[in-house]
A = this chain, B = another copy of it.
Amino acid sequence: MKNDPKRKIYTEILKTKGYKLTAPRLLVLDVFLQNRKPLNADFVYEKVRTKKTDRVTVYRTLKIFESARVIHQVNLKKDSVFFELTKDHHHHIVCLECGLIEDFDACTIDQLAKNVISKSPYFSSIDHHSLELFAICKKCNKG
């Protein structure tokens, strides 16, 4: 949404890093703001193709957003790569059989991360983390 308060945050990040705010980039950003779940290139492309935006541009935009830390990859064990907005942090339980995804917010990683960092010879801070749970859902357990 154009009126999402987070929209400005992300556009500012992009500007600060020296990226131009082009039409395709704003379109892709809005797809993420309007679909609060992990998205892959194909999903994004289907949403912007009508507006004369090429598939290649989607891929390149995802790369730029990733390097600007506007989005980051989510590990869902699917065939293609999924991304979500950096500031929409949450996690998932994924069914190993049918792919059902449930979100959850509770996350106690920060303390664990501190411990790990304090012992690490190579790292001194964490940028972000990925935590996903995998299971067989109740429905698949019966079938």
Chain A residues within 8 Å of B, Cβ to Cβ: 72-73, 75, 77, 93, 95-96, 100, 102, 104, 106-109, 111-113, 115-116, 119-139, 141
Contacts and interface: CB of A to CB of B under 8 A. Distances in A.
Contacts of A128: 133-134
Q: Is the interface of A mostly helix, strand, loop or mixed?
A: mixed
Contacts of A134: 72, 126-130
Contacts of A135: 123, 125-127
Contacts of A93: 116, 120, 122-123, 126
A131 B109 contact: yes
18 contacts: A73-B75, A93-B120, A96-B127, A102-B123, A104-B119, A106-B116, A108-B111, A109-B131, A109-B133, A116-B133, A123-B138, A126-B134, A126-B135, A129-B132, A129-B133, A130-B132, A130-B133, A131-B131
A67 to B, nearest CB: 9
Contacts of A121: 102
Nearest to A91: B116
A121 to B, nearest CB: 8
Given A104-B120, A122-B137, A128-B133, 5 more contacts: A102-B121, A109-B133, A126-B134, A130-B131, A130-B132
